[in-house]
Amino acid sequence: MVISVFTLGCKTNLYESGQIITELNNAGHTAFHGLKRADVFVLNTCAITREAEKKSRQLVARAKKLNPYARIIVVGCASEKDANQFVGIDGVTFIKGVVGKEKIAAVLNATGIDVETVPSVYQEGQRAAQERTRAFVKIQDGCNNFCSYCIVPYLRGRSRSRKIADVVNEVEACSSAEVVLIGIDISQFGADTGESLEKLFCALKDTNKRIRLGSLEARVVTDGLLCALKNVDFCPHFHLSLQSGSDTVLKRMNRKYTTAQYFDAVQKIRNVFPDAAITTDIIVGFCGETEEEFNQTVDFVNKVGFSDIHVFPFSPREGTVAYSWEDTLAEIKTARAAKLGEIKAELKTKFAQKFVGQTESVLCERKRNGYYEGYTREYLRVYFTGECKTNGIVNVKILKPYLDGALGKKV
């Protein structure tokens, strides 16, 4: 059968869709990423926000339009949170949660609901089918943090880590020139197995790959970890989740650090990797955020000098501690997000300016509008001229800031 696998949500979800595709192809089917006409649709859903859950339901209708006679299987976080929201929707034949979804090939003809108990240890599965120049390798699942605004630990369960040997084997088997180590909270990697990120990077030292890290918590940025990162061809880009630059807001969020501790982590990074990109996520308007608290965030953002910021207006999530707390007016959230958006654009330009005149190695990902596009090790997007092959690494001289990155030419 021809099977379409479509993904909403995070990189971990995308990796797990790759596992689903591997299982299906191994079973003799023709499976692929993307929403195109097929005999069966496997919809890997997201529930991080109410809007994501709504999009997950709408996805069923989109699949139905492509083939009114297809079987539709819904898996992932939205069905884990509330499987019944998909019951009775025309075309949906089977509903599964987050556990065991990669083994959907064995139950293509099943009906009803199957939401399994989340395990306490990492379950090894098939390697994911990769379709990008930058491969994702999952090293961990689940989360122990229980931030007051976040539904994820209730859906994904407690943190559980993959064995280092399995991670190394998959990294070595990847055909991509660059690998990103991902998970729900990779900062907790190894806490349950007696291993650690430091040990993982020591084990990865002989792999011939550029290695990136997914999102990290500032608390795990230690001298030992930074030293271990030098064992591999590490791409110095650190996505350090911040969420707010106000200590009082961080406390309400149940984030387990202060801005002082976060800034200490930033300084540690820059002492070892002076040109490192440091990116982050920020939620504006969280549960009664005052003007003073927001201004503290603005000041802290400028103090750190991020290379990029992902800005999100706070969205109350049913099932979380903060769901019933005082919300902030929508127009205030919009205005604050816009202000941080302006600062973000300024900081991105300033970051790109640092590299003008330098020659950087760029992983070529595609050609569009007359330019090749790719990223430097520091995750600076570069638009450049000169011939190259997709998935090839070329040297590019940075000429000037351009669009959301920089303009360059191959040398």
Specify the CATH number for the domain of residue 237: 3.80.30.20
For the record, the structure tokens of 262 come out as: 């976060």
Q: What is the pLDDT along the chain (411 residues), one digit of tens a residue?
A: 999 999 999 999 999 999 999 999 999 999 999 999 999 999 999 999 999 999 999 999 999 999 999 999 999 999 999 999 999 999 999 999 999 999 999 999 999 999 999 999 999 999 999 877 899 999 999 999 999 999 999 999 999 999 999 999 999 999 899 999 999 999 999 999 999 999 999 999 989 899 999 999 999 999 999 999 998 999 999 999 999 999 999 999 999 999 999 999 999 999 999 999 999 999 999 999 999 999 999 999 999 999 999 999 999 999 999 999 999 999 999 999 999 999 999 999 999 999 999 999 999 999 999 999 999 999 999 999 998 988 899 999 999 999 999 999 999
CA 3 from centroid of its chain's CA atoms: 25
Element (H, E) at 29: none
Same domain, 345 and 365: no
pLDDT for residue 97: 96
Q: Of 351, 381, 402, which residue constitutes the final position of a domain?
A: 351
125 part of a folded domain: no
Distance CA(411)–CA(348), nearest Å, equals 24
**Is 304 in the same domain as 328?**
yes
Q: What is the DSSP string of 264-324?
A: HHHHHHHHH-TT-EEEEEEEES-SS--HHHHHHHHHHHHHHT-SEEEEEE----TTSGGGG
Tokens of 269: 């990074």
Q: Is 67 helix (H, G, I), strand (E, B) or coil?
A: coil
Determine how many CB atoms are found less than 10 A away from the CB of residue 234.
19
- Copy the structure tokens of residue 62: 């989109």
Q: Do both 285 and 368 map to the same domain? A: no
- In terms of domains, do 214 and 249 share one? yes
Same domain as 249, residue 175:
yes
- What pLDDT is attached to residue 165? 97
pLDDT of amino acid 208: 87
Which residue among 114, 146, 181 closes a domain? 114
- CATH (domain of 108): 3.40.50.12160
CB atoms within 10 A of CB 318: 11
* CATH number of the domain to which 376 belongs: 2.40.50.140
Q: pTM of the full predicted structure?
A: 0.95
**Within this chain, do residues 230 and 299 fall inside the same structural domain, yes or no?**
yes
Total number of domains constituting the chain: 3
Residue with tokens 């006679």: 69
Q: Tell me the chain's radius of gyration from C-alpha atoms.
A: 22
Give the 3-state secondary structure of residue 7: strand
**pLDDT at site 361:** 96
DSSP state of 174: -
- Residue 137 pairs in a beta bridge with 181
Instruction: Determine the Cα–Cα distance for residues 140 and 210; give it in Å rounded to an integer.
Output: 20
Q: Is residue 120 part of a domain?
A: no
Q: Is residue 298 part of a domain?
A: yes
- What is the C-alpha to C-alpha distance for residues 179 and 208, in angstroms, rounded to an integer? 10
Say if residue 166 is in the same domain as residue 284: yes
Note whether residue 315 is domain-resident.
yes
Residues in a beta bridge with 363 = 375, 393
Q: Letter for the amino acid at 289?
A: E
Residue 119 lies in a domain: no
Helices (H), ranges, 82-181: 152-156, 164-173
Q: Is 72 within the bounds of a domain?
A: yes
Q: What is the per-residue burial (b if ≥16 Cβ within 10 Å, else e) of 58-76?
A: ebbeebbeebeebbbbbbb
Based on the fold, state whether residues 191 and 283 are members of the same structural domain.
Answer: yes
Residue 122 lies in a domain: no
**Which contiguous run of DSSP H or E holds residue 223?**
helix 223-229
Closest CA to 98 of 49, 51, 152: 152
C-alpha to C-alpha distance for 154 and 181, rounded to whole angstroms: 23
The last residue of one of the domains, among 86, 114, 142, is: 114
Same domain (yes/no): 271, 340:
yes
* 197 and 84 inside one domain: no
Non-local CB neighbours of 24 within 8 Å, separated by 6+ positions: 3, 5, 31, 42, 104, 105
Nearest CA-CA partner of 75 in 113, 37, 28:
113
Looking at residue 105, its amino acid is A
Residue 133 has what pLDDT? 84
Q: What is the pLDDT of residue 131?
A: 75
pLDDT at 395: 97
Q: Are residues 214 and 338 in the same domain?
A: yes
Q: Note whether 342 and 196 are same-domain residues.
A: yes
- Orientation of helix 259-272 relative to helix 291-304, angle to 10°: 10
CA–CA separation, 308 vs 109, rounded Å? 45
Q: Is the residue at 47 inside a domain?
A: yes
Residue 374: domain span: 359-410
Q: Treating both helix axes as pointing N-terminal to C-terminal, what angle do 330-353 and 291-304 enclose, rounded to 10 degrees?
A: 10
